[in-house]
Amino acid sequence: MLYEVRPIEMLSFLNRLLPATLISVWTGGAGMAQPNVDSSFSAHDFVFSLPNGEDLPLAEFRGRPILIVNTASECGFKAQLGDLQALQADYGERGLVILAVPSNDFGGQEPRSEEELTGYCQAQYGATYTITSETHVKGKEAHPFYKWATEQYGVTARPYWNFHKYLIGPDGQLATWFSTPTRPTSKDVRKAIEDQLNRMHEQGMSN
């Protein structure tokens, strides 16, 4: 099996967290709703934090596409941690930035400390992508980036479980999003990444 998703866990998740009208969105691929883009404000205005306490301004990656994924190391979809490393190997040198954002918001499935998690991802998946400090991605305590992303694309585009994916273009605007079951190595995700990398090179936006 590619994923160790327990049926009870999945049914419970769908019944408790998703309105019936959103189940098709959760099980689908990229978000198709028209974004409410305010070009005067972008992902580059937000700052995450690293496990060592240092700030990580997204403005450091201006001119490069960024894939932001909320992760959980005990989730049934945790194999996607390895998928992220596959993308890092394929696209990192071309300019893609991958940010894994650990969160314990869904099912309490990130029990590891920040220090333990970095070592775990490196040992189990060879992770060389950036892992932020543990972050809230839903509700009133959600990181400002996640609140902004919801404002841009609407409630159907917000994370409803671990491993929700946002792709940021080199200009800092949301390019698209992908729901939990869509693997980072899927054809659709790869095409979206390659499109943004092509934009980066065509516009001479890379550093």
Is the domain defined by 7-202 classed in CATH 1.10.10.10? no
- The Cα–Cα gap between 50 and 117 comes to 12
Q: Which of 43, 72, 75, 96 is catalytic?
A: 75
Between 176 and 38, the more confident residue is 176
Distance from C-alpha of 171 to C-alpha of 174, rounded to nearest angstrom:
9
Amino acid (one-letter) located at 126:
G
Q: For this structure, is 75 an active site residue?
A: yes
Residue 3 has pLDDT above 90, yes or no: no
Domain residue extents for the chain: 7-202
pLDDT tens-place string over residues 65-77: 999 999 999 999 9
pLDDT at residue 113 tops 90: yes
pTM exceeds cut of 0.75: yes
pLDDT of residue 20: 42
Residue 144 has pLDDT above 80, yes or no: yes
**Is the separation of the CB atoms in 197 and 66 below 8 Å?**
no
Per residue in 190-202, pLDDT (tens digit) is: 999 999 999 998 8
- Mean pLDDT, range 130-156, rounded to an integer: 94
* Residue linked to tokens 């700030």: 55
